[in-house]
Amino acid sequence: MSIGRRFYRTATGFELIEHARNRLAIVLVAVFVPVWITLIDLMMSESPLPFRYRDTGEELHVNGQHLTFISGGLNAVTLIVGFLMFSVTYRSGPFDRRLVAAGYPRPHLLAAKVTALTASSVVVAAYTTAMVWVFWHPEQLWLFALGMFTAAVTYGGIGIVLGVLLRGELEGMFAIIMISLIDVGLESPVVNAGSDNDLVRFLPMYGSMQAGVGAGFTRSVPWEQLAAVPVWWAACAVVGLIAFHVRTRVYTRSGRPVTAAMVAATPIPRPAAPGEAVHVTVRVCGPTCVATDHMPLYQGLAVLAALSAEQAADRADQNVYPLSIKRG
């Protein structure tokens, strides 16, 4: 196995494990989706509602309950996958910075996130489609599942972008919830009587909503509307790449980025004899305030590595940072 494939395989494994450990997301998938779909079946009216199907340009009068199955399913998958990708990306931020500082390639970390996003979107979209199928049989089941998948991937990408851009977990979750609710609310005639406005074409869920309606009530496939989905994917990818590169870039104390030449110029200490000890010196409160401790070599290297990683990552304003290490 090549070193590149090994990097990718290792990073993907860690991403999938992190997803599997997100118990809240698992509970949302297992409980929220069937409860939400069941409530729609019990409480929503079947009165006809007008919906502008843009593939043919006609105004369809569709069953209100069935239309809510579509919008409700889209809302569920976008919230779950968006929250999942934001949570994983946000929490793995410091770890990603340390991996990149240690030499782990950024492209492999990003490829692992995309793989985990795709896998999560497939699982959530398939599960939601199965839940809807229990209560209602759309005309084209595969297209319905495709609409769910594209919405999940789009909001998963938005979750990744928010995970690397925002500094707090609460605001990220709030942003995903509000974006999804506004998107669904503006596109569904159940909530918005003006959902046939041309501006809805610029919303993230536009292609997925059109695909869901086409799957549920027609035999046509809105390929032109679905083409808007890759545009959102590309936009999220560009923003995510730039933000990830900036957030994982390692800087020295002077503010200069660490380069390969600087790493190569760093002297490599000679192999240590068993039990060799060192003196570790760190600055603790100011230019003239330092502390020195005597410890085993392996422990001194670990202390310096930890302090250097913290200082290079995002603790530039703290006073504690390593100065030197000397064999004693």
**Span 263-290, pLDDT tens digits:** 445 454 444 454 556 555 655 555 555 5
Statement to judge: residues 30 and 146 lie in one domain: yes
Q: What does the alpha-carbon distance between residue 147 and residue 229 come to, in Å, rounded to a whole number? A: 10
Average confidence score pLDDT of the chain: 79
- Domain region containing 271: 266-327
What's the pLDDT score for residue 301? 62
| Bridge partners for 251 per DSSP | 257
Contact call for residues 131 and 33 (beta carbons, < 8 A): yes
Q: How far is CA 221 from CA 50, 151, 268, 311, in A?
A: 19, 16, 62, 54
Statement to judge: residues 12 and 121 lie in one domain: yes
Q: What does the alpha-carbon distance between residue 165 and residue 256 come to, in Å, rounded to a whole number? A: 21
What's the pLDDT score for residue 150? 94
Statement to judge: residues 289 and 160 lie in one domain: no
What's the pLDDT score for residue 90? 84
Statement to judge: residues 206 and 303 lie in one domain: no
What's the pLDDT score for residue 276? 58
What's the pLDDT score for residue 277? 63
Statement to judge: residues 271 and 216 lie in one domain: no
Phi/psi class of residue 247: alpha, beta or left (left: φ > 0; alpha: ψ in -120 to 50)? Answer: alpha
Domain edge (last residue) among 217, 247, 277? 247
What's the pLDDT score for residue 306? 63
Q: Examine residue 260 and state whether it is found in any structural domain, yes or no.
A: no
Domain edge (last residue) among 193, 218, 247? 247
Statement to judge: residues 181 and 271 lie in one domain: no
Q: Examine residue 7 and state whether it is found in any structural domain, yes or no.
A: yes
Statement to judge: residues 111 and 239 lie in one domain: yes
Q: Examine residue 69 and state whether it is found in any structural domain, yes or no.
A: yes
Statement to judge: residues 213 and 288 lie in one domain: no
Q: What does the alpha-carbon distance between residue 242 and residue 12 come to, in Å, rounded to a whole number? A: 21
Which residues does 121 contact at the CB level (< 8 Å), separation at least 6? 77, 81, 149, 152, 153, 156
Q: Examine residue 276 and state whether it is found in any structural domain, yes or no.
A: yes
Q: What does the alpha-carbon distance between residue 275 and residue 161 come to, in Å, rounded to a whole number? A: 47
Statement to judge: residues 136 and 84 lie in one domain: yes
Residue found under tokens 């105004």: 59
Q: How far is CA 235 from CA 18, 194, 211, 238, 289, in A?
A: 25, 27, 21, 5, 49
Q: Examine residue 255 and state whether it is found in any structural domain, yes or no.
A: no
The SS3 of residue 212 is: helix
What's the pLDDT score for residue 128? 94
Q: What does the alpha-carbon distance between residue 72 and residue 65 come to, in Å, rounded to a whole number? A: 10
Which is it for the CA torsion 183, 185, 188, 194, positive or negative? negative
What's the pLDDT score for residue 289? 56
Statement to judge: residues 179 and 79 lie in one domain: yes
Domain edge (last residue) among 247, 282, 299? 247
The CA-CA-CA angle for residues 74, 79, 83, to 5°, reads 150
Q: Examine residue 323 and state whether it is found in any structural domain, yes or no.
A: yes
What's the pLDDT score for residue 135? 93
Q: Examine residue 213 and state whether it is found in any structural domain, yes or no.
A: yes
Statement to judge: residues 85 and 29 lie in one domain: yes
How many domains are there within the chain? Answer: 2
The SS3 of residue 61 is: strand
H helix intervals, the chain: 3-20, 23-27, 33-43, 64-91, 93-101, 106-135, 141-165, 169-187, 206-217, 223-226, 228-247, 260-265, 297-313
Statement to judge: residues 229 and 194 lie in one domain: yes
Report residue 22 as tokens: 């997100």
Residues in the chain, pLDDT under 70: 1, 250-328
Q: Examine residue 14 and state whether it is found in any structural domain, yes or no.
A: yes
